[in-house]
């Protein structure tokens, strides 16, 4: 037999002392942040079981559910992200990690359909090859919170086709010919424009365990019509967001909690002058939006401030904030 090991001693385990015992064993970690995250995770998981009096059968159903979710994941289907989205966790984490001052564009859920297949396109290109889609001209700007245009920002845009499917959802998709997505660059005036199709509502994939969960909860799996945007520019916080069409049947009941009031837009129709200037048919729908990015420095300050506020509200003392994240302050 190996020699007696020198680790924290577990006491006689009961419903009431198991949590502190798990904390004691986990306190051996040398990663202060991991230790704190695990401490909160274990405390909440145990409190959840105690508060619901979780039965063995329910626990087993949970184990089976998580296993099914894992088995459903592939390179083009992330069922755990879908689960996180449908329980509001994704929106929450994005809001925490990317705090926004009032003057800037709010973020929202990334969703599972962003890919790295999108081609770089020049301004004015069409991102959609779908002949059944209703043509949409998009003219947007991107600037800083002080109103300066941001040139040469990298902008990922992506949307479904007119059937409500992303390119990766088709079994014949190979990554060679992405559709409904492109990578653009803003011009010197911070303007980027492109042609697309009017977004339509679509159902999140509900043929897996998450769909089953939604049905048990009496929930529909629909997302309101939207277009995704992701902005990257050195010195500015990564912005993942989307614009939603006002009046959509699912505007107030998005299955993944992505809609924010400031991200709901009305489409217009191009003027005859715009039709000529941008080479689109008269009567074409028009999307315009002015995106506002937050600098890394502004974001860092806000993160630190919000983290300190959260620790205060939690009544946690002896915490320090490292890179925007709270960790125990042990000397």
Q: Is 163 in the site for a second copy (CB under 8 A)?
A: no
Footprint (CB under 8 A) of a second copy, residues 26-65 = 26, 28-31, 34-38, 40-42, 44-56, 58-59, 63
Phi, psi for residue 179 in degrees, rounded to 5: -135, 145
**Nearest distance from residue 171's CB to a second copy, in Å?**
21
Handedness of CA 56, 60, 65, 66 (dihedral sign): positive
Footprint (CB under 8 A) of a second copy, residues 239-278 = 248-250, 252-254, 257, 259-261
Torsion angle, CA of 96/181/253/77, rounded to 10 degrees?
A: -80
Q: Is 97 in the site for a second copy (CB under 8 A)?
A: yes
Round to whole Å and give the CA distance between 14 and 21: 10
**Nearest distance from residue 88's CB to a second copy, in Å?**
4
| Binder among 76, 115, 134, 201 for a second copy (CB under 8 A) | 201
Kind plus residue range of the DSSP H or E element containing 55: none
Q: Is 331 in the site for a second copy (CB under 8 A)?
A: no
Round to whole Å and give the CA distance between 1 and 296: 55
Q: Applying CB under 8 A, which part among 136-144, 279-287, 289-297, 300-308 lies near a second copy?
A: 300-308
CB atoms within 10 A of CB 223: 27
Beta-sheet pairing, 264-265 with 239-245: parallel
Q: Is 116 in the site for a second copy (CB under 8 A)?
A: no
The SS3 of residue 215 is: helix
Q: Applying CB under 8 A, which part among 15-23, 117-125, 272-280, 285-293 lies near a second copy?
A: 15-23
Q: Is 322 in the site for a second copy (CB under 8 A)?
A: no
Between residues 78 and 274, which has the closer beta carbon with respect to a second copy? 78
Between residues 111 and 190, which has the closer beta carbon with respect to a second copy? 111
Query: Contact at 8 Å (CB) between 326 and 319?
Result: yes
Number of residues located near a second copy, criterion CB under 8 A: 97
């Amino acid at each position: 037999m190996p020699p007696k090991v020198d680790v924290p001693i577990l006491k006689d385990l009961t419903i009431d002392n198991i949590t502190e015992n798990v904390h004691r064993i986990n306190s051996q970690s040398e990663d202060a942040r991991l230790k704190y995250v695990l401490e909160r995770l274990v405390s909440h998981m145990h409190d959840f079981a105690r508060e619901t009096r979780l039965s063995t059968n329910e626990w087993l159903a949970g184990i089976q559910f998580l296993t099914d979710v894992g088995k459903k994941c592939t390179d083009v289907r992330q069922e755990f992200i879908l689960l996180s989205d449908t329980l509001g966790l994704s929106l929450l984490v994005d809001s925490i990690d990317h705090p926004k001052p009032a003057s800037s564009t709010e973020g929202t859920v990334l969703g599972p359909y962003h890919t790295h297949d999108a081609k770089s396109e020049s301004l004015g290109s069409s991102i959609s090859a779908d002949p059944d889609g209703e043509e949409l001209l998009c003219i947007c700007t991107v600037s800083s919170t002080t109103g300066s245009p941001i040139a040469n920002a990298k902008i990922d845009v992506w949307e479904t086709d007119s059937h409500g499917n992303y390119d990766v959802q088709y079994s014949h998709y190979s990554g060679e010919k992405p559709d409904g997505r492109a990578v653009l660059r803003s011009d010197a005036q911070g303007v980027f424009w492109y042609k697309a199709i009017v977004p339509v509502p679509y159902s999140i994939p509900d043929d897996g365990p998450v769909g089953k969960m939604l049905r048990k909860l009496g929930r529909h799996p629909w997302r309101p019509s939207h277009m995704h945007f992701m902005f990257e520019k050195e010195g500015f916080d990564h912005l993942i967001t989307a614009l939603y069409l006002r009046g959509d049947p699912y505007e107030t009941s998005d299955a993944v909690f992505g809609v924010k009031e400031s991200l709901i837009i009305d489409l217009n129709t191009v003027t005859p002058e715009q039709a000529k200037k941008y080479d689109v048919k008269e009567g074409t729908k028009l999307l315009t939006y002015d995106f506002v990015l937050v600098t890394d420095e502004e974001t860092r300050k806000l993160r630190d401030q919000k983290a300190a506020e959260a620790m205060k509200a939690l009544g946690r003392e002896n915490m320090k904030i490292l890179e925007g994240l709270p960790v125990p302050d042990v000397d």
